[in-house]
Structure 1
Amino acid sequence: MRKANVTTNKTNGLFCNLFGHHFEVSKNVTYHVKEYKCSKCGKEMTTNSNGFLTELTPKFREINKVLSKIHNNKLTRLAKQKKLLVN
């Protein structure tokens, strides 16, 4: 069972080597930072501080997790402030 997945990934990896990856957004971290996943081979990428795509390592995954939490807290705080101003 596992061997079939490995050969499928090798075949898809070969496709990506020849024609390039087909990245789709897998997670919106903030308005500008996103996580991407190749629909063919499953390779994961994210945007770095310069806006370029970088391989999604455990370090970047943790950074994105914390950044997402900060961003969501800010959005919640701004929504509460806006609600108070309207009332």
Structure 2
Amino acid sequence: MKTSRSTIKKAVCSMFGHRYVVSKKITPHITEYQCKTCKCEITTTETGHLDVLTPELKEINETLAKFYRKRHALQSVA
């Protein structure tokens, strides 16, 4: 019986834990992380807790990043 690599990687993470690295810095308080082994993604929520990165949260983070960049671009000009 063949097992896929992703199943093996997920099993390794469930036994030994994920190895998260920063994949995207949204704001100084909001960051997206990705596991080096299984490519699982998480993000910090508005309360500061870590949560699975759903498509809805990904869209929220993209919108927040646009507002953050726009705000800081205007502040640096003034």
Asked if Structure 1 and Structure 2 have the same fold, meaning a TM-score greater than 0.5 normalized by the shorter chain, the answer is yes
Aligned counterpart, 1:15: 12
Q: Which runs of 5+ in 2 are unaligned?
A: none
Out of 74, 77, 87, which is 2:74 matched to?
A: 77
TM-score (norm 2): 0.93
Percentage of pairs with the same residue: 34
Computed over aligned residues only, the root mean square deviation of the Cα atoms, in angstroms, reads 1.4
Deviation at 1:8, TM superposition (A): 1.1
Deviation at 1:49, TM superposition (A): 1.0
Q: How far apart in 2 are the matches of 1:35 and 1:47? A: 7
2:36 is aligned with 1:39: yes
TM-score (norm 1): 0.84
SS in 1 for 2:24: strand
Deviation at 1:7, TM superposition (A): 1.2
Q: Which amino acid aligns with 1:49?
A: E
Select the structure that is richer in helix: 1
Q: Which runs of 5+ in 1 are unaligned?
A: 82-87
Aligned counterpart, 1:24: 21
Deviation at 1:41, TM superposition (A): 0.3
SS in 1 for 2:4: helix
Q: Which amino acid aligns with 1:45?
A: I
Aligned counterpart, 2:45: 48
Larger Rg: 1
Q: How many residues align?
A: 77
